[in-house]
Amino acid sequence: MQRVTPGRIARLIYPVGFYRTKARAIRAICRDLLGRFGGRVPDEIDALLTLKGVGRKTANLVVTMGYGKPGICVDTHVHRISNRLGYVRTTTPEATEMALRARLPRRYWIGYNDLLVAFGQNVCAPLRPRCSACPVRPLCRRVGVTASR
């Protein structure tokens, strides 16, 4: 990876948002992994968080998908929908992760992100969610929903 230019990495990850910034971060992370971790990706969230450009969502993704360890990836969809349903009452994704760790049964942690991302993209949109087509509407508190379709 150290021989691949940031421009080449950027072209390879182009569909991703902020691809130029992420390309530089990927190279830096690879350098850091070689220098501090002997080329091995850590399997602990705290160690992953020491890598520049790695946040809680990415660290959780690595430990869950890479190592099969329990974790909850909280992105904008998981944060928004968990609060909208009234399952948690938090103001930040990190607070949502901690609230979900305390409340959500561990067996659901890994799949929770995938379930809510697809749901958030197709039904529970940030603005004007499709409440009329929502399969969990009777259970939803619609926290913060001012207009829906």
pLDDT of residue 148: 93
Instruction: Check whether residue 5 and residue 74 sit in a common domain.
Output: no
Q: Return the structure tokens found at 116.
A: 């809510």
Instruction: Check whether residue 99 and residue 64 sit in a common domain.
Output: yes
Q: What predicted TM-score, i.e. pTM, was given to this entire model?
A: 0.86
Model confidence band, residue 33 (pLDDT cutoffs 50, 70, 90): very high
* Sign, Cα dihedral of 132, 134, 140, 141: negative
Instruction: Check whether residue 10 and residue 36 sit in a common domain.
Output: yes
- Tens digits of residue pLDDT in 49-95: 999 999 999 999 999 999 999 999 999 999 999 999 999 999 999 99
d(CA 81, CA 13): 28
> Burial, 138: exposed, middle or buried (Cβ in 10 Å; 0-12, 13-18, 19+)?
exposed
Catalytic residue among 46, 57, 69, 114: 57
Count the domains in the chain. Answer: 2
Cα–Cα separations (whole angstroms), residue 62 to 36, 65, 138: 17, 6, 35
Instruction: Check whether residue 121 and residue 92 sit in a common domain.
Output: yes
Catalytic residue among 22, 32, 69, 75: 75
Instruction: Check whether residue 96 and residue 50 sit in a common domain.
Output: yes
Q: What is the CA radius of gyration of the chain?
A: 18
Instruction: Check whether residue 90 and residue 134 sit in a common domain.
Output: yes
Q: Is the pLDDT of residue 102 over 90?
A: yes
Active site (annotated) includes residue 75: yes
